[in-house]
Amino acid sequence: MTVASTPMNLTQPAHVGISVSDLDASIAFYSALTGRDPVARGTMDSVPFGGSQGLPTARLRYATINLDGLGIDLIEFQEPRGERTNGRANRPGSMHLCFKVDDFDEVYRRMKEAGHDFLGEDYTFLAGEVTPDEALGTKVAYFNDPDGTNLEIIQPKGGFAR
Can you tell me the distance from the alpha carbon of 112 to that of 38, in angstroms, rounded to the nearest whole number? 24
Region 11-37: mean pLDDT is: 95
Superfamily of domain 15-79 in CATH is: 2,3-Dihydroxybiphenyl 1,2-Dioxygenase, domain 1 (3.10.180.10)
Region 96-107: mean pLDDT is: 95
Domain ranges of the chain: 15-79, 96-155
Whether 108 has a pLDDT exceeding 70, the answer reads: yes
CATH fold match for the domains 15-79 and 96-155: yes
28 vs 49: which has the higher pLDDT: 28
- CATH top-level class of 96-155: alpha beta
Q: What is the pTM of this model?
A: 0.86
Region 128-153: mean pLDDT is: 88
Whether 159 has a pLDDT exceeding 70, the answer reads: no
% of the chain surpassing 70 pLDDT:
94
pLDDT digits (tens, 9 = 90+) for 59-72: 899 999 999 999 99
